[in-house]
Amino acid sequence: MMNAIATVSLSGTLEDKLRAAAAAGFGGVEIFDTDFLASAMTTAEVKALLDELGLACVLYQPFRDLEGMPEPYRARAFTRIAQKFGVMRELGCDRILLCSNCSPHALPDRDRIVADLRELGDLADAHRITVGYEALAWGRHVNDHRVAWEIVDAVDHPRIGILLDSFHSLSRGIPSVSIRAIRPEKLVFVQLADAPLLDMGHLYWSRHFRCLPGQGGMDLTDYVAEILRLGYDGPLSLEIFNDRFRANSAAMVARDGVRSLDALRDGARRAIGEAPAMPARAQIERIAFVEVAVAPDDRDPITAMLQSAGFACAGRHRSKAVEHWRCGSADMVLNYEEGGFAAAYRTTHGTAICAMGLVVADGAATMARADALGVARHVSDIRTMPALRGVAGTLVYVLDVEAARTIWIDEFDAVDDRVAAAPDIGVTAFDHLAATVPNDEFLSWQLYWRALFDVHGAGAQDVIDPNGLVQSQAIQNASGSFRITLNSTDARDALSARFLSQSFGAGFQHVAMRVRDMDVAAQALADHGLARLPVPQNYHDDAVDRFGLDPAAVAAMRDHDMLLDEEGPGARFRQIYSRAFAKTFFFEYVERTGGYDGYGAPNAPIRLAAQNRFRVEAVMD
Ligand SMILES: O=C(O)c1ccc(O)c(O)c1
Ligand SMILES: [Mg+2]
């Protein structure tokens, strides 16, 4: 079952697109009509390039507005498609996509549509070409694959079949089980695209917001499972109209495309009980630790910051300039080594979070799935802790439960620094880490997490920074024991964009820890002398009525620069932010009660505006 991609999904010239598809390992391409028309290559040159690259042209597409047309449009459409058949013969392509008619001239005459397609079948047969009829979600009279199937069934011509495109089906909420009605030999091609679940017109949604399976919100697994159940074994082909992809590196989109299809096929095969080709998506138990690469000059300030944040040194590495710091159940590693990965990371980015450790149910299976999906390994010198390359060159260490239990004992000499840690803040876990990524990698990192791990996208938000809009996407597991957010912006002056330019690339800049009781934590943090991010008076004045708070509760929030959000009765989120360390990372303390599942999005503009007020100092630093 071949992986294919439509040239419209990739940026550049037709030649760039074909080269990127081949380099990523696709076996076939759909040549998009406009890409071919706009190309200066002759048909023979395109064919020669396809052959050189070992690519098959598995579909020529689209052909528009043929069926149910009055004259003179009807005759023109038939003559024009015959010309396309000639081009296709030269390209070695024997399948064409016909979209359901969108023309204002199209007639709602079912018999006429059937008769036209039958006549088209005879014409196609003379060229040994098969036509796949696709119901566009915005087709004038045919906009549902169930209707397209009834028509194709009625046409009953060996050269006329149906083409399924997941976007058109799922954007209209058509149940995937309806695919079972299609006679298997009549399904001639399958196009796949995901999309975020937006409430907008189908045409605009399709042309700008499609994305790779695993980057949006549609149930592609169920869709492809129904297609496999039918016995379809033709190409699975990506057809992604996406504004970002048009501007992005074709190589990155093509590479992600293969990863996306391989992960999707794996999920669909599992859903129908077929033998999987790779281990299942890895179960993450929790974030084991966050590692910071520290420049020698930053040792004293970062030590002071960690102490004020409730951390205490718990161990020193037996052979390396590495320290283990702990705050309740949150572990951090400070890496001062002069060689190796952390040092290299620090040279580029300055003192920064360079890695995270994840506790997974099965470390070996996680690494095998990463290999199968083309996720690069990093050669780690810690035997019990293999590593994968992650967001912006940070590392993701993969720990078994056993490795997570023994690592601090096996590798570190304990330091008894409990006095420095008192009073206890009551940190029970890392709640989430937030990364900033370049705009063109925003979808790529979502796919990375969702293809490799058993996590899902939740809580997409547009967050208001004083200097521009920031898109934020949470990725979390079902239990909520693993959460990250990915943030990106086009706005050059937004905080996350300044972070990208100051630290030379993406990374994690925000570490949130969950506390047992925020009242206790707030007092303990005040006792430790945490430098908090100040919250303005206006916010608390409004919170009184917004949340129906009593004066004492608001006074406590004011005293501790605390923020509050509520999802429903009792489902509350309380937050305190620290100031940033050297403009590179900061801490957040959160308390979740009553099943609150979000990230305090309504408070993000308050936080960003507060951080922005320290910007003048940043320039003077
Ligand atoms: O947006 C379109 O016009 C268009 C063209 C061809 C397709 O296969 C499709 O799904 C959409
Ligand atoms: Mg399509």
Quickly count: other Cβ atoms within 10 Å of residue 544's Cβ: 14
Q: 481 and 460, same structural domain?
A: yes
Q: Is the CB of 565 under 6 A from ligand 1?
A: no
CA–CA dist 138, 374 (Å, integer)? 37
Confidence of residue 380 (pLDDT cuts 50, 70, 90): confident
Q: 112 and 207, same structural domain?
A: yes
Give the distance (Å) from ligand 1 centre to CA of residue 99.
Answer: 7
Give the distance (Å) from ligand 2 centre to CA of residue 265.
Answer: 19
CATH code of the domain covering residue 310: 3.10.180.10
The encoded tokens of residue 206 equal 């399709």
Residue 220 lies in a domain: yes
Question: Where do we find the tokens 């028309």?
Answer: 37
Quote the DSSP letter at residue 203: H
Is the confidence at residue 620, as pLDDT, over 80? Answer: no
State residue 418's pLDDT score.
63
ipTM exceeds 0.95, yes or no: yes
Name beta bridge partners: 366.
none
Is the confidence at residue 500, as pLDDT, over 80? Answer: no
State residue 619's pLDDT score.
42
Give the distance (Å) from ligand 2 centre to CA of residue 239.
Answer: 6
The encoded tokens of residue 106 equal 């199209």
Q: Of 246, 271, 296, which residue constitutes the final position of a domain?
A: 271
Confidence of residue 383 (pLDDT cuts 50, 70, 90): confident
State residue 496's pLDDT score.
76
Q: 354 and 253, same structural domain?
A: no
Confidence of residue 618 (pLDDT cuts 50, 70, 90): very low
Closest of 575, 607, 568, 577 to residue 592, by C-alpha: 575
Q: Ligand 1 pocket check: which of 66, 206, 211 to mutate, most ligand atoms within 8 Å of Cβ?
A: 206
Closest of 300, 347, 302, 294 to residue 322, by C-alpha: 294
Environment class of residue 271 by beta-carbon count within 10 Å: exposed (0-12), middle (13-18) or buried (19+)?
middle
Residue 279 lies in a domain: no
State residue 609's pLDDT score.
92
- Nearest residue (by CA) to ligand 1, atom 6, is 62
Provide the residue count of the chain. 621
Q: Amino acid letter at 464?
A: I
Give the distance (Å) from ligand 2 centre to CA of residue 165.
Answer: 5
The answer to whether the CB of 335 falls within 8 A of the CB of 284 is: no
Give the distance (Å) from ligand 2 centre to CA of residue 134.
Answer: 7
Mean local confidence (pLDDT), 19-30: 98
Is the confidence at residue 554, as pLDDT, over 50? Answer: yes
Is the confidence at residue 20, as pLDDT, over 80? Answer: yes
Domain that holds residue 125: 3-271
Q: 257 and 295, same structural domain?
A: no
Question: Where do we find the tokens 């547009």?
Answer: 462
CA–CA dist 474, 433 (Å, integer)? 10
Q: Ligand 1 pocket check: which of 166, 169, 241 to mutate, most ligand atoms within 8 Å of Cβ?
A: 241
Environment class of residue 77 by beta-carbon count within 10 Å: exposed (0-12), middle (13-18) or buried (19+)?
buried
Residue 235 lies in a domain: yes
Is the confidence at residue 4, as pLDDT, over 60? Answer: yes
Question: 532 φ, ψ to 5°?
Answer: -90, 155
Give the distance (Å) from ligand 2 centre to CA of residue 62.
Answer: 8
Is the confidence at residue 589, as pLDDT, over 80? Answer: yes
Closest-approaching ligand to the CA atom of 241: 1
Residue 278 lies in a domain: no
CA–CA dist 11, 64 (Å, integer)? 23
Q: Is the CB of 207 under 6 A from ligand 1?
A: yes
State residue 615's pLDDT score.
74
- Where does residue 156 fall: left (phi above 0), alpha (psi -120 to 50 degrees), or beta otherwise? left
Q: Is the CB of 10 under 6 A from ligand 1?
A: no
Question: 460 φ, ψ to 5°?
Answer: -70, 135
Quickly count: other Cβ atoms within 10 Å of residue 616's Cβ: 9
Quickly count: other Cβ atoms within 10 Å of residue 385's Cβ: 19
The answer to whether the CB of 471 falls within 8 A of the CB of 460 is: yes
Name beta bridge partners: 412.
317
State residue 504's pLDDT score.
60
Q: 263 and 389, same structural domain?
A: no
Mean local confidence (pLDDT), 361-385: 91
Mean local confidence (pLDDT), 591-603: 97
Q: Is the CB of 165 under 6 A from ligand 1?
A: yes
CA–CA dist 522, 528 (Å, integer)? 10
Is the confidence at residue 506, as pLDDT, over 80? Answer: no
Apex 331 CA angle, 327 and 333, nearest 5: 120
CA–CA dist 178, 344 (Å, integer)? 54
- The pLDDT tens digits of the residues spanning 436-493 come to 998 899 999 999 999 999 999 997 888 888 888 889 999 999 999 999 999 998 888 8
The answer to whether the CB of 160 falls within 8 A of the CB of 184 is: no
- The pLDDT tens digits of the residues spanning 302-346 come to 999 999 999 999 999 999 999 999 999 999 999 999 999 999 999
Kindly list the distances between the CA atom of residue 383 and the CA atoms of 242, 406, 409, 436, in Å, as whole numbers in the listed order: 42, 12, 15, 30
Q: Ligand 1 pocket check: which of 7, 84, 99, 166 to mutate, most ligand atoms within 8 Å of Cβ?
A: 99
Residue 74 lies in a domain: yes
Q: 397 and 342, same structural domain?
A: yes
State residue 505's pLDDT score.
65
Q: 576 and 469, same structural domain?
A: yes
Report how many domains make up the chain: 2
CA–CA dist 95, 132 (Å, integer)? 7
**Torsion on CA atoms 171, 175, 181, 185, rounded to nearest 10:** 50
Q: 185 and 302, same structural domain?
A: no
Residue 276 lies in a domain: no
- The pLDDT tens digits of the residues spanning 136-173 come to 999 999 999 999 999 999 999 999 999 999 999 999 99
Residue 383 lies in a domain: yes
Q: Residue 239, annotated ligand binder?
A: yes
Mean local confidence (pLDDT), 183-201: 97
Q: Residue 588, annotated ligand binder?
A: yes
CA quadruple 238, 211, 180, 138: dihedral sign: negative
Q: Amino acid letter at 241?
A: F
CATH code of the domain covering residue 15: 3.20.20.150
Q: 308 and 175, same structural domain?
A: no
Residue 612 lies in a domain: yes
Quote the DSSP letter at residue 422: P
Q: 163 and 53, same structural domain?
A: yes
Q: Which atom in ligand 1 lies closest to the alpha carbon of residue 206?
A: 1
Q: 210 and 64, same structural domain?
A: yes
Q: Residue 441, annotated ligand binder?
A: no
State residue 373's pLDDT score.
98
Q: Is the CB of 193 under 6 A from ligand 1?
A: no
Q: Is the CB of 134 under 6 A from ligand 1?
A: yes
- The pLDDT tens digits of the residues spanning 202-256 come to 999 999 999 999 999 999 999 999 999 999 999 999 999 999 999 999 999 999 9
Q: Residue 510, annotated ligand binder?
A: yes
CA–CA dist 50, 34 (Å, integer)? 17
Q: Is the CB of 204 under 6 A from ligand 1?
A: no
Q: 503 and 386, same structural domain?
A: yes
